[in-house]
Chains A and B, each alone.
Chain A
Amino acid sequence: MSSQLRKRAEEAMAQKTLTSALGSFSEAYVVSRAKAYEGLDFEELRNSIADIKGKASQHLDVLAEQFKKNAEARGAKVFRTSSPEEVKKYILNLAREKGVYRIVKSKSMASEEIHLNYDLEAAGISVKETDLGEWIIQLAGQRPSHMVLPAIHMTREQVADLFSKEISERLTTDIPKLVKVARRELRKYFFEADMGISGANIAIAESGTIVLVTNEGNARLVTTLPKIHVVLVGLEKLIPGVQDAVPILKALPRSATGQLLTSYVSMISAPTPNTDGTQKELHIILMDNQRTAMAADPQFRNALQCIRCAACLNVCPVYRLVGGHVFGHVYTGGIGTILTSWFNLMQNAEDIQGLCITCGRCKTVCPGKVNIPELILEIRRRIVQKKGMPFIQKAAFAVIRNRKLFHSLLRAGYLAQKPLAKDGFIRHLPMFFSGLAEFRSLPTVAETPFRERIKKIKQPQGGEKVAFFAGCAIDFVYPHIGEAVVKVLNKAGLEVIFPEEQSCCGTPFRGSGDYDLAAEAAIENIKALLKDGVPYVVTACASCASALKLEFVHVLETEGKTEWIAQAKELAARTYDFSTFVKKLVDEKRLTLKEAKHLERITYHDSCHAKRFLNVYEEPRTLMRKAGYDIVESFESDMCCGMGGSYTVKQPEISSRILQRKLQNIEDTHADMVCMECPGCIMQIKGGLDKTGSKIRVKHTAEILADNLR
């Protein structure tokens, strides 16, 4: 990430009003969204939206022609263009021809995308945004920081100042009064305007209809009062039939603002009469600006399923800290990064893609089933493919992949760190590492790695075998977690073997866009883990489990290593995360937990990879309850801890802020222990709690269960 972006992010995070506004919004949003979806099957709904929009994206040309034909048959003029410049030229020519000097606009992200206002004003035309939020940012000379709530970054004081200046009258910060001022002021512009410009939320090809979804009522005025109405529509808004609009109209208000339906929905299919009896002029501009190119891309076509509800921003742990302006372009957040990489240039996304921690929260709420984190990784992959990996990172990855070298370097590190280590933590680190340890203590490297320790464990022989995939953290930093795993599995009569050739699962490589290395890691591990013909592969790291179960196949497909896919699928089928595997053993009565009542209470942190990639969250809770523990849930238990693999190294400031919230939520439970599935989270949370001097202990699920076997 460039120092400029880093500076912007730090400045944003330093604005208390911004972070507290976004923070409380993100919390309230989750509640209102859930309420709005009560009684509806969200999965079914979004499947139908993804299906409709996904198919539409593959027929944009046909749909555009059909729309044009149908809308023109009913009196609209339809202009199709791929270029933003042509859009502006069309509107400017029309304005000149009709003597338009005053324009009112209702909210249109497509017009923001091409900076339309700038050109109109340069031609001497007065342009007024009439959506309250858009008007506020227009007066402030800013860009929207959120797709649905453009002025969410501003306070009532700032709004009062802007309005006071605008009407030359000192106003108080009373919000209803400020809204009344906007109503009164903008009414004048509505009545005077010669042209209204709107966007469109949906364009229906079958009937030539544009659909507008608003709450304030400004879109109705914009499309009714001026005698000329110009609609600017991105091609991705096209859908084939009238009934196809229904699922979108169900999801958009619920996901955007927690409403069942917005106050107003308008479906405009033809020019209507003006009050003086003349007929309105209706011009519809279908703008491509890279949408067709996107639709032709096997990965990025997925992003055309976006319905612009901004749910992804509202649940993003990073957005709520830094806000929208940090992204530097019109579209913000994860989806904004993806759209910017196409509507502007890939290089515009190079920097901001680094803000995504790939926690996957956005994809669980996306009504269009856009796999935002996956597409962010795809941007990374393409950048690395084109420009290569930074040298230092490449060198570091080479070391991680070479187990022997990695291990001996870590050991050297272990010896060097010795004078600083205390209770298994490094409290102060020399030189460039120190920045990373400021907000959390770092763990020490184990004296003997797990791969050596397992050789000394006496295990049951002759029974069923399980191959253990340790992952870097358990092997070299937390070998005692590995030992706990072995203890639990041994109790069920299973012998745990450790295939020596296993290496890093490749998640850090993939996360950095280096799919070459990730594919090599996948192949190495497939060979190592399938070699012994052992029926089960178990790992106690949620991130590694996701790699083995889900990502290897994808990485190998992306890299064209098709000869390995069958084996990757075989490995995926054999792989279990620890909790799921133990739950299976308990259900099959091969393992019994002591059912003593414990006085200590546990709170469970849902690791991103466990909750959202493996769909594992019930199993560990069930097991710990069986073992006699009370589980006390923390607020936002499935919110990312801020580790995100190398994210914490690349964006330490953001990582630290995310961690602070996590720690507070854990403290608020007054639990005795916090438990989780992922050694990465343990590193982050344990280090954080140590730094704050907390009494709460951090455990892996395996450690808890190992102490409670019968």
Chain B
Amino acid sequence: MMIDTFKIKAEAVGSEVYRFSADEDALSFIVEFLKKEGIAELNGPTAVWADCPFLTAMRKKELVEKVEGLRFDISFETAALAKIGISQMDWAIADTGTLMQNAGAVEQRLVSMLPNIHLAIVSTNKILPDLTTALAEINPRDADYLTFITGPSRTADIERVLTIGVHGPERLIVIFVDQPEN
């Protein structure tokens, strides 16, 4: 199963991988996660969530009531202040544990770059075996900015000691959903 391969490879580089069979389960996991991890700084944004198919208008309304400090307006400021960024990735690549996104829209990049934690939602049926098939699925000709993410931000530049979380998130949480919208 490709999802098993993905899980092994992604966890090996420090990603946290979850899988839910229904949208509702994924959503309640996210809400719980935001409540637990996202302590709002005095009216500041706790989390920023970039527009995506998973985030329907109805859910937006629900979420705002449930989670304090959750913002859908993405700017340098909100993304930089938020502890958690949420986005939906377009594909996953099994043999390297990678997420891939057509990220021409700047908001998509900001939420996965600036906060400490990146929650990445992806449809289970969007897992591709490897890079070759991934680049056949989406050609850079048709994407202004393609992003590939494999685990949290890391460095070994000081004495080769692996250190997580340099310029990007220090946690990457991958949430597979079996039954995406529609």
Query: Which of chain A's residues has its CB closest to B136's CB?
Result: A243
- Complex alpha-carbon distance, A155 and B153, angstroms: 22
A150 touches B76 (CB 8 A): no
* A209 in the interface (beta carbon within 8 A): yes
Q: Using known A-B contacts A25-B160, A217-B166, A268-B144, determine if residue A260 contacts B9 with beta carbons closer than 8 Å.
A: yes
A133 touches B140 (CB 8 A): no
Binds B, one of A177-185, A451-459, A570-578, A655-663: A177-185
Which residues on B sit within 8 Å (CB–CB) of A221?
Answer: 113, 167
The one of A131, A246, A262, A269 in contact with B131, judged by C-beta atoms closer than 8 angstroms, is: A246
* A610 in the interface (beta carbon within 8 A): no
Which residues on A sit within 8 Å (CB–CB) of B166?
Answer: 132, 179, 182-183, 215-218
Which residues on A sit within 8 Å (CB–CB) of B105?
Answer: 272-273
* B53 in the interface (beta carbon within 8 A): no
B154 touches A215 (CB 8 A): yes
Query: Could you tell me which residues of chain B, from 67 to 89, have a CB within 8 Å of some CB in chain A?
Result: 74-76, 80
Q: Using known A-B contacts A183-B165, A259-B13, determine if residue A269 contacts B141 with beta carbons closer than 8 Å.
A: yes
Binds A, one of B22-30, B42-50, B57-65, B96-104: B96-104
Smallest CB separation, B10 vs chain A (Å):
10
* A264 in the interface (beta carbon within 8 A): yes
- Complex alpha-carbon distance, A207 and B145, angstroms: 12
Which residues on A sit within 8 Å (CB–CB) of B13?
Answer: 259-260, 263
Which residues on B sit within 8 Å (CB–CB) of A265?
Answer: 147-148, 150
Q: How large is the interface on B (under 10, 10 to 19, 20 to 34, 35 or more residues)?
A: 35 or more
* B158 in the interface (beta carbon within 8 A): yes
What 1/0 flags go to B103-136 for Cβ under 8 Å of A? 0111101100100000000000000000110011
Query: Which of chain A's residues has its CB closest to B153's CB?
Result: A217
Jot down 22 A-B pairs with beta carbons below 8 A, ordered by A. Answer: A28-B160, A175-B158, A175-B161, A176-B163, A182-B166, A186-B167, A207-B140, A215-B166, A216-B168, A243-B136, A246-B132, A249-B131, A250-B131, A259-B150, A260-B96, A263-B13, A263-B168, A264-B150, A266-B146, A267-B148, A268-B144, A275-B75
- Complex alpha-carbon distance, A179 and B166, angstroms: 6
B132 touches A220 (CB 8 A): no
- Complex alpha-carbon distance, A216 and B169, angstroms: 9
- Complex alpha-carbon distance, A136 and B163, angstroms: 15
- Complex alpha-carbon distance, A182 and B166, angstroms: 8
Query: Which of chain B's residues has its CB closest to A260's CB?
Result: B96
A267 touches B153 (CB 8 A): no
- Complex alpha-carbon distance, A374 and B9, angstroms: 38
* A187 in the interface (beta carbon within 8 A): yes
A133 touches B157 (CB 8 A): yes
A266 touches B167 (CB 8 A): no
* B156 in the interface (beta carbon within 8 A): yes
A243 touches B104 (CB 8 A): no
A130 touches B167 (CB 8 A): yes
- Complex alpha-carbon distance, A133 and B113, angstroms: 20
Most chain B Cβ neighbours within 10 Å, of A224, A245, A264: A264
Query: Which of chain A's residues has its CB closest to B104's CB?
Result: A272
- Complex alpha-carbon distance, A250 and B168, angstroms: 22
- Complex alpha-carbon distance, A275 and B50, angstroms: 13
Number of interface residues of A (CB under 8 A): 65
Which residues on A sit within 8 Å (CB–CB) of B75?
Answer: 275
Query: Which of chain A's residues has its CB closest to B160's CB?
Result: A25
Which residues on A sit within 8 Å (CB–CB) of B104?
Answer: 270, 272-273
Q: Using known A-B contacts A151-B158, A217-B166, A259-B13, determine if residue A269 contacts B132 with beta carbons closer than 8 Å.
A: no
* A257 in the interface (beta carbon within 8 A): yes
- Complex alpha-carbon distance, A215 and B106, angstroms: 20
* A191 in the interface (beta carbon within 8 A): yes
Most chain B Cβ neighbours within 10 Å, of A250, A271, A272: A272
* A516 in the interface (beta carbon within 8 A): no
A179 touches B96 (CB 8 A): no
The list of the 7 closest CB pairs from A to B, nearest first, reads A217-B168, A133-B157, A265-B148, A216-B166, A270-B144, A267-B146, A217-B167
- Complex alpha-carbon distance, A124 and B161, angstroms: 35
Which residues on B sit within 8 Å (CB–CB) of A257?
Answer: 156
Most chain A Cβ neighbours within 10 Å, of B74, B75, B139: B139
Smallest CB separation, A309 vs chain B (Å):
15
Smallest CB separation, A106 vs chain B (Å):
9
- Complex alpha-carbon distance, A179 and B170, angstroms: 12
B110 touches A224 (CB 8 A): yes
Query: Could you tell me which residues of chain A, from 535 to 559, have a CB within 8 Å of some CB in chain B?
Result: none
Q: Using known A-B contacts A130-B167, A183-B165, A216-B154, determine if residue A275 contacts B76 with beta carbons closer than 8 Å.
A: yes
Smallest CB separation, B116 vs chain A (Å):
10
- Complex alpha-carbon distance, A377 and B165, angstroms: 44
Which residues on B sit within 8 Å (CB–CB) of A225?
Answer: 76
- Complex alpha-carbon distance, A206 and B63, angstroms: 44
* A115 in the interface (beta carbon within 8 A): no
Query: Could you tell me which residues of chain A, from 187 to 239, have a CB within 8 Å of some CB in chain B?
Result: 187, 190-191, 204, 206-207, 209, 215-218, 220-221, 223-225
B109 touches A220 (CB 8 A): yes
- Complex alpha-carbon distance, A257 and B162, angstroms: 11
Smallest CB separation, A161 vs chain B (Å):
12
- Complex alpha-carbon distance, A74 and B140, angstroms: 12
Smallest CB separation, B88 vs chain A (Å):
18
Which residues on A sit within 8 Å (CB–CB) of B148?
Answer: 261, 264-267
Which residues on B sit within 8 Å (CB–CB) of A249?
Answer: 131
B106 touches A21 (CB 8 A): no
The one of B95, B144, B159 in contact with A175, judged by C-beta atoms closer than 8 angstroms, is: B159
Query: Which of chain B's residues has its CB closest to A213's CB?
Result: B148
- Complex alpha-carbon distance, A74 and B144, angstroms: 9
The one of A28, A74, A178, A268 in contact with B158, judged by C-beta atoms closer than 8 angstroms, is: A178
Query: Could you tell me which residues of chain A, from 123 to 154, have a CB within 8 Å of some CB in chain B?
Result: 130-133, 136, 149-152, 154
The one of B95, B141, B144 in contact with A271, judged by C-beta atoms closer than 8 angstroms, is: B144
The one of B97, B113, B141, B161 in contact with A224, judged by C-beta atoms closer than 8 angstroms, is: B113
- Complex alpha-carbon distance, A130 and B157, angstroms: 12
The one of B9, B143, B155, B168 in contact with A267, judged by C-beta atoms closer than 8 angstroms, is: B143
A260 touches B150 (CB 8 A): yes
- Complex alpha-carbon distance, A208 and B139, angstroms: 12
Smallest CB separation, A495 vs chain B (Å):
58
Which residues on B sit within 8 Å (CB–CB) of A149?
Answer: 156-157, 160
Query: Which of chain A's residues has its CB closest to B132's CB?
Result: A246
Smallest CB separation, A238 vs chain B (Å):
14
Query: Which of chain B's residues has its CB closest to A187's CB?
Result: B80
A262 touches B150 (CB 8 A): yes
* B149 in the interface (beta carbon within 8 A): yes
Which residues on B sit within 8 Å (CB–CB) of A223?
Answer: 145
A264 touches B140 (CB 8 A): no
- Complex alpha-carbon distance, A155 and B158, angstroms: 7
B145 touches A261 (CB 8 A): no
